[in-house]
Chains A and B, each alone.
Chain A
Amino acid sequence: MSAHVAPLSPASFETGPAVVVSNLVRSYGSRVVIEKLNLRIERGEFVALLGESGCGKTTLLRALAGLDSIQGGRIVAPRRPAVVFQEHRLLPWDSLWRNVSLGLQVPDARERAAEALTEVGLGDRLDDWPRNLSGGQAQRVALARALVQQPELLLLDEPFAALDALTRIRMHELVRELVANHQPGVLLVTHDVDEAIALADRILVMRNGAIAYEHRAARNASTPISRTELLRELGVNSHSIH
């Protein structure tokens, strides 16, 4: 798919990290968007990437997905990552199960798609059309399509940004459950601080193409991640809010 994503050796396949990024450089012409970035995500680890618009977080995700070429450094991943975009990107001309099994090279594709759809609570809609789905349902199908690939690395590009608040909370629960069951490494790009706190084991804040801040407190740890601190890192002075 993308020449710069080198596969890991079989030995490290079982236990190794979901992705290792070293000295990544990404530039558009002379404008450097990502400057010597290092990042390692373990399997089963949920990493949230926060940052203002234009800080390079989506650029990083696209590079990891193999959608854009990189100008320096290395991205080492065991296999092709799965991606869920902000828009569901379902093929309107294919039934839900055909959508979920898109790119799946197995004889029992329909059964596998059915399992994945059941996992996201849409197991009775196999032959339905995408146009009959609500925004949240469509995004659940997109999640099923990503997970059916059994990815080592799951990239989420603001997948809940377009959903209403209640649906978003339900999606958070679903994602937490799915990640616990499948144990992929996850990189969630978001600009929602609360979403990051709710889901992530580790929160990164990106600024000017580099990781400027890292918080490694698990969400079930005794010391919760400080929202104020995160907002300060994102350039929001919380005193001015209250």
Chain B
Amino acid sequence: MSNVELSGIDRTVIGADSAPSSQSSDNALAPAATKSRLGTRGLQLLSWLAPVVLVIIWEWLAQAGWLSPQVLPAPSKVIRTAFKLVTTGTLLNDLGVSLLRAAAGFVIGTAVGGGLGILVGFSRVAEALIDRSVQMIRAIPFLAALPLVIVWLGVGETQKIFLVALGVTFPIYINTVLGIRQVDPKLLELGRVQGLSSLQLIRRIILPGALPSILTGVRYALATAWLALVVAETIGAQSGIGFLAMDAREFLRTDVIVLTIVIYALIGVAADGIARVLERRLLAWHPNYGAAR
């Protein structure tokens, strides 16, 4: 019904080229009009054009000698370095160590943030007891606590995992509380009418209702976890991607440094991808996330 109406409007807008101002004012119709000419695939390809061209220019500048390898090595050189490091074994090992740190910190931070969030979300007393303190600590950029964390825990594994956990805790906490608070009170009322027990109310209505917000928190947390790891690993690490970068800096191995930066970026993208898959699967019911049926 609404589809038919929409396409009808579409046609009139495309036809009425005498009024460009009305077309630009209506955001909803503009992309649809473009889509009919280029197609979704074409736009997708087009969006990759700029980065590919940039890499080609970079490679060309390096090959031509305009870029010193000390400043920025050619992409091909970085790829060759990657292969070499993988075959000698150190890269995969360092990658594993880094991922393990991130995972451990993430699990701890999620448990603490989620636990506190559920407590505060459900209980006004818990909110009065906990929330203000958490909000005050949250005001500190967690990386600013790094010197203190080093004094407390040294520069070993504990310090790195702690810093990641610290960064993860707050986005999870905030979004869990927010999610629980945002559950539609009309649905809670329905739960009471249907005779649900408190436990059933939490399981059937409150947690599913809070899930979109919680998953948003997970996505933020993945990003902060990664940031925390980069910072933690650049200080006193004996292994890991950050160590690789710091070690390379000593010998002015710019190719290795660039490689580590690229790896950090790729893992960030992968983490975001995992979060998206989670959202798609767990929020299949949600009009904004679920795959189209």
Q: Which of A's residues lie within 8 Å of B, judged by CB?
A: 1, 65-67, 80, 82-83, 85, 87, 89, 91-94, 102-103, 129-132, 145, 149
B187 within 8 A of A: yes
With A1-B195, A93-B209, A93-B285 known as contacts, the answer to whether A67 contacts B189 (CB < 8 A) is yes
- Of the listed residues A65, A85, A93, the one surrounded by the most CB atoms of chain B closer than 10 A to its CB is A93
Q: Could you tell me the distance in whole angstroms from the C-beta of A118 to the nearest C-beta in chain B?
A: 20
**Which single member of B190, B200, B211 contacts A93 (CB below 8 Å)?**
B211
Nearest CB to that of B282 among chain A residues? A93
With A87-B186, A92-B286 known as contacts, the answer to whether A67 contacts B204 (CB < 8 A) is no
With A67-B189, A131-B285, A131-B287 known as contacts, the answer to whether A93 contacts B195 (CB < 8 A) is no
With A87-B186, A131-B285, A132-B293 known as contacts, the answer to whether A93 contacts B208 (CB < 8 A) is yes
Q: Mark B58-95, 1 if CB is under 8 A from A, else 0.
A: 00000000000000000000000000000000000000
Within 8 A of A (CB), among B244-293: 283-287, 293
* Contact between chains at B193 and A65 (CB < 8 Å): yes
* Contact between chains at A103 and B194 (CB < 8 Å): yes
Which residues on A sit within 8 Å (CB–CB) of B208? Answer: 91, 93-94
Q: Mark B184-214, 1 if CB is under 8 A from A, else 0.
A: 0011011111111000100011001101000
9 closest Cβ pairs, A-B complex: A103-B194, A93-B208, A93-B285, A89-B190, A83-B193, A103-B195, A102-B194, A129-B285, A103-B196
* Contact between chains at B194 and A145 (CB < 8 Å): yes
Which residues on B sit within 8 Å (CB–CB) of A80? Answer: 193, 195
Q: Could you tell me the distance in whole angstroms from the C-beta of A155 to the nearest C-beta in chain B?
A: 9
Q: Could you tell me the distance in whole angstroms from the C-beta of B291 to the nearest C-beta in chain A?
A: 12
* Contact between chains at B193 and A67 (CB < 8 Å): yes
Nearest CB to that of B208 among chain A residues? A93
A-B pairs with beta carbons under 8 Å apart, 8 shown: A83-B193, A85-B190, A94-B204, A94-B208, A102-B191, A103-B200, A132-B293, A145-B194
Nearest CB to that of B190 among chain A residues? A89
Q: Could you tell me the distance in whole angstroms from the C-beta of A29 to the nearest C-beta in chain B?
A: 21
With A92-B286, A94-B204 known as contacts, the answer to whether A102 contacts B196 (CB < 8 A) is yes
Which residues on B sit within 8 Å (CB–CB) of A130? Answer: 285
Q: Could you tell me the distance in whole angstroms from the C-beta of B204 to the nearest C-beta in chain A?
A: 7
* Contact between chains at B285 and A92 (CB < 8 Å): yes
Instruction: Tell me the dominant secondary structure on chain B's binding face.
Output: helix
Instruction: Tell me the dominant secondary structure on chain A's binding face.
Output: loop
Which residues on B sit within 8 Å (CB–CB) of A85? Answer: 186, 190
With A67-B189, A131-B287, A132-B293 known as contacts, the answer to whether A91 contacts B194 (CB < 8 A) is no
Which residues on A sit within 8 Å (CB–CB) of B285? Answer: 92-94, 129-131
* Contact between chains at A91 and B286 (CB < 8 Å): no
Nearest CB to that of B211 among chain A residues? A93
Q: Could you tell me the distance in whole angstroms from the C-beta of B55 to the nearest C-beta in chain A?
A: 42
Which residues on B sit within 8 Å (CB–CB) of A93? Answer: 208-209, 211, 283, 285-286
Q: Could you tell me the distance in whole angstroms from the C-beta of B286 to the nearest C-beta in chain A?
A: 7
Q: Could you tell me the distance in whole angstroms from the C-beta of A181 to the nearest C-beta in chain B?
A: 21
**Which single member of B193, B196, B286, B293 contacts A82 (CB below 8 Å)?**
B193
- Of the listed residues B208, B284, B285, B286, the one surrounded by the most CB atoms of chain A closer than 10 A to its CB is B285
- Of the listed residues B194, B196, B209, B283, the one surrounded by the most CB atoms of chain A closer than 10 A to its CB is B194
Query: CA A65 – CA B193 in complex, angstroms?
Result: 7
Nearest CB to that of B283 among chain A residues? A93
* Contact between chains at A1 and B287 (CB < 8 Å): no
Which residues on B sit within 8 Å (CB–CB) of A66? Answer: 192-193
Query: CA A135 – CA B285 in complex, angstroms?
Result: 17
Q: Could you tell me the distance in whole angstroms from the C-beta of B57 to the nearest C-beta in chain A?
A: 47
Query: CA A93 – CA B290 in complex, angstroms?
Result: 11
Q: Could you tell me the distance in whole angstroms from the C-beta of B108 to the nearest C-beta in chain A?
A: 28
Which residues on A sit within 8 Å (CB–CB) of B200? Answer: 103
With A103-B200, A131-B285, A132-B293 known as contacts, the answer to whether A89 contacts B187 (CB < 8 A) is yes
- Of the listed residues A65, A83, A85, A103, the one surrounded by the most CB atoms of chain B closer than 10 A to its CB is A103
